[in-house]
């Protein structure tokens, strides 16, 4: 069941389900800040991909295809959709799992917190599903006519936020692919990640 919390002080309060005896801790960064730092190259690659898409469309159309102010508006709309981003994480969990969605107090970080084992592929789906919020506006941007500059700017701004905001989730996916076999499960417990043998 998904529940909303406006302010979350400590993720360790929410990710505390029973840890199975056959759970093995996966080595991950010790804090949100450290994880964000290690995942930053992923964000850089995603930004570069978006820049290349913009450059290709501009070259193909032989004109400026966006209105810059609408990129900013699209970015703000994308930020407001971060709660949907977290909800997309939450809907992958079964109904009996407790999923808490909220904003970490004092930071501009939204989270979906759950301590429930998911099979490896379902866990990866949970991590990557929010990319929909970037892929859809990016596809709309690519196919929209060049003269729709305001619309293109809006879609590109939303695509930027939707494509780059899941960079920590991509990092978690890479950790899981490296450390967890197909038939194993993965779960969060407090601020750590475990594989269930």
* pTM above threshold 0.75: yes
End-to-end CA distance of the chain: 25
Report how far residue 93's alpha carbon sits from residue 103's, in angstroms, rounded to the nearest whole number: 19
pLDDT attached to residue 4: 79
Q: Residue 32 has what pLDDT?
A: 74
CA–CA dist 135, 159 (Å, integer): 7
Strands (E), 85-197: 99-104, 110-114, 118-119, 185-189, 192-196
Q: How far apart are CA 169 and CA 93, in angstroms?
A: 15
pLDDT for 109: 78
Q: Average pLDDT over the chain, rounded to whole?
A: 92
Using a pLDDT cut of 90, give the percent of the chain over it. Answer: 75
Asked if residue 103 has pLDDT above 80, the reply is yes
| 52 or 32, higher pLDDT | 52
> What would the pLDDT profile of 120-130 be if each residue is shown by its tens digit?
999 999 999 99
Pick 158 or 105 by higher pLDDT: 158
CB neighbour list of residue 105: distance below 8 Å, 6 or more residues apart: 7, 8, 9
What are 64's two structure tokens?
Answer: 């400026």
């Amino acid at each position: 069941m998904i529940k909303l919390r406006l302010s979350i002080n400590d993720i360790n309060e929410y990710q505390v389900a029973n840890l199975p005896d056959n759970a093995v801790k996966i080595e991950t960064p010790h804090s949100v800040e450290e994880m964000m730092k290690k995942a930053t190259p992923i964000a850089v690659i995603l930004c570069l991909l978006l820049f290349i898409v913009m450059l290709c469309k501009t070259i193909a159309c032989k004109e400026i295809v966006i209105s810059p102010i609408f990129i900013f508006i699209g970015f703000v709309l994308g930020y407001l959709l971060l709660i949907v981003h977290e909800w997309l994480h939450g809907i992958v969990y079964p109904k009996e799992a407790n999923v808490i969605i909220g904003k970490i107090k004092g930071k501009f970080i939204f989270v979906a917190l759950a301590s429930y084992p998911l099979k490896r592929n379902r866990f990866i789906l949970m991590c990557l599903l929010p990319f929909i919020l970037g892929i859809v506006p990016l596809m709309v941007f690519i196919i929209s006519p060049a003269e729709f500059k305001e619309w293109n700017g809006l879609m590109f701004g939303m695509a930027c936020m939707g494509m780059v905001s899941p960079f920590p989730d991509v990092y978690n996916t890479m950790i899981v692919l490296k450390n967890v076999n197909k038939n194993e499960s993965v779960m969060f417990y407090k601020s750590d990640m475990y594989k269930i043998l």
